[in-house]
């Protein structure tokens, strides 16, 4: 790898971009951002924050990357120590057409207060709307709402107009109705909360997640294609279940042309995130209060959830028991006749998004090893920066197996 000066940036690359001028390691351009260019194919993210030394030399954004091996900077790269610590090194996948756009627009979204759109005003959608209206005044400027049912839009626009602080004048996001032609236009964040055919409490369904996937995937594909048509450049947040599978559908479908061929002209991997682990983290804390301090959640919302009881003192038996209990905890509410939607809408949805906009740690499913998989992360410069920890080997094995299971599930469903 060599260092180059390219359009005002320091570039680290194995092959120089056309027009680049080679410079000595340690010499940097005036621009704060340092780009690490690599060719990873479409199954790698197109851009992400490099916050571990080993990823300068060999970019990797997969589940094994969560397992910090403690590798330090080798001698040639020591001049970039400060940039690494300050999260100023961005890996950019040159396999994606238009990668140079990332020179000036490294992340999504880059502006505050953010403009938000919510698709679907059912139980999860309207509860997320209420939370963002009440809590997001410092981060969100306006929220556009859309539902195929006109009455739902009319109702929630009416209700939100009447939610104001009595005397303080503290800002709150403006809520307004959208027409379908307004979607993915003049916005920074789209939250997809629409769903079809959720099993009611008491209904017998052999595989709830599978049923949800089969019903919701075609609807997600329709809106993802719309995002492609609009050349949408903001965030696409998946809040509908199964979160991780539908995030994958949104990303992939948006990149299919009219002939059904993947062409990389739709949503980039880092534009799509799945918000499902926030509520699983909260439920784990309700079952085991000690978990909240040092525990972590990984994997998927529901089946496929992987909890660590304590990353400083991991106990595999306790963690596996906790994972099984929390993965099915929602059934306790369904048994008494209620659908559990407030926690997912607030903890996974609204609070995760607000944490992201503040640059705070939160849970999100992001693109790793070709699938969307959940983990703790922060957003730096509008791009994901995963939390890297010294993880217990048994936990590492669980994570590796979890990704493999998700990959196999997706492959089995290809062509549906």
pLDDT in tens, 139-186: 999 999 999 999 999 999 999 999 999 988 889 999 999 999 999 999
Say if residues 258 and 284 touch (Cβ distance below 8 Å).
no
Q: Count of CB atoms within 10 A of residue 220's CB?
A: 25
Q: If you average pLDDT over every residue of the chain, what do you get?
A: 91
**Greatest Cα pair distance in the chain:** 68
**Three-state SS string across 152-195, please?**
HHHHHHHHHHCCCCCCCCCCCCEEEECCHHHCCCCCCEEEECCC
Asked if pLDDT for residue 380 goes beyond 90, the answer is no
CA angle 174, 346, 376 (to 5 degrees): 115
3-state class percentages of the chain: helix first, strand second, coil last, to nearest 5:
40, 20, 40
**Contact between 68 and 389 (Cβ < 8 Å):** yes
Termini Cα distance of the chain: 42
Question: Hey, what domains does the chain have and what are their CATH numbers?
Answer: 2-103 (no CATH), 114-274 (3.40.50.720), 277-413 (3.90.110.10)
* Run of H or E residues at 394: helix 393-413
Among 303, 309, 296, smallest CA distance to 376 is for 296
Residue 150 φ/ψ, nearest 5 degrees: -55, -40
Tokens representing residue 367 in the block: 């693109």
Residues contacting residue 112 through CB under 8 Å, at least 6 positions apart: 139, 357
- Digit-coded pLDDT (tens) for 270-324: 999 999 999 999 999 999 999 999 999 999 998 899 999 999 999 999 999 999 9
CB 379 within 8 A of CB 385: yes
Q: Indicate the helix (H) or strand (E) that contains 6.
A: strand 2-6
What is the rounded average pLDDT of the residues 251-264?
Answer: 96
CA–CA separation, 113 and 325 (whole Å)? 39
Report if pTM > 0.85: yes
pLDDT tens-place string over residues 124-136: 999 999 999 999 9
């Amino acid at each position: 790898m060599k260092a180059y000066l390219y359009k005002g940036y320091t570039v680290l690359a194995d092959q120089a971009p056309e027009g680049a001028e080679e410079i000595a390691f340690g010499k940097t351009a005036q621009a704060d951002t340092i780009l690490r260019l690599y060719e990873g194919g479409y199954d790698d993210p197109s851009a992400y924050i490099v916050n571990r030394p080993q990823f300068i030399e060999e970019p990797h954004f997969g589940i094994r990357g969560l397992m910090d091996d403690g590798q330090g900077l080798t001698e040639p790269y020591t001049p970039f120590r400060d940039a690494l610590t300050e999260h100023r090194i961005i890996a950019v996948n040159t396999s994606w057409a238009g990668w140079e756009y990332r020179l000036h627009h490294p992340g999504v979204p880059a502006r505050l207060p953010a403009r938000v759109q919510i698709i679907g005003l059912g139980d999860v959608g309207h509860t997320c709307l209420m939370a963002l209206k009440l809590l997001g005044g410092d981060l969100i400027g306006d929220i556009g709402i859309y539902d195929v049912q006109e009455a739902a839009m009319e109702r929630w626009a009416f209700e939100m107009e009447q939610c104001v602080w009595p005397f303080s004048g503290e800002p709150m996001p403006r809520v307004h109705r959208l027409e379908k032609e307004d979607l993915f236009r003049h916005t920074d964040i789209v939250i997809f909360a629409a769903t079809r055919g959720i099993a009611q409490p008491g209904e017998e369904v052999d595989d709830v997640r599978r049923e949800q996937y089969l019903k919701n995937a075609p609807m997600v594909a329709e809106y993802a294609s719309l995002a492609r048509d609009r050349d949408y450049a903001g965030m696409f947040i998946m809040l509908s279940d199964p979160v991780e599978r539908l995030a994958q559908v949104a990303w992939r479908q948006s990149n299919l042309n009219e002939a059904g061929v993947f062409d990389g002209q739709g949503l980039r991997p880092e534009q799509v995130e799945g918000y499902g682990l926030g509520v699983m983290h909260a439920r784990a804390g309700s079952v085991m209060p000690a978990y909240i301090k040092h525990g972590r959640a990984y994997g998927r919302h529901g089946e496929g959830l992987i909890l660590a009881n304590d990353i400083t003192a991991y106990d595999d038996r306790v963690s596996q028991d906790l994972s099984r209990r929390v993965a099915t905890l929602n059934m306790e509410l369904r048994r008494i006749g209620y659908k559990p939607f407030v926690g997912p809408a607030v903890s996974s949805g609204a609070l995760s998004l607000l944490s992201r906009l503040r640059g705070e740690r939160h849970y999100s499913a992001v693109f790793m090893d070709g699938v969307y998989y959940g983990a703790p992360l922060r957003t730096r410069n509008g791009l994901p920066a995963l939390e890297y920890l010294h993880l217990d080997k048994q936990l590492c094995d669980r994570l590796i197996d979890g990704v493999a299971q998700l990959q196999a599930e997706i492959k089995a469903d290809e062509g549906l």
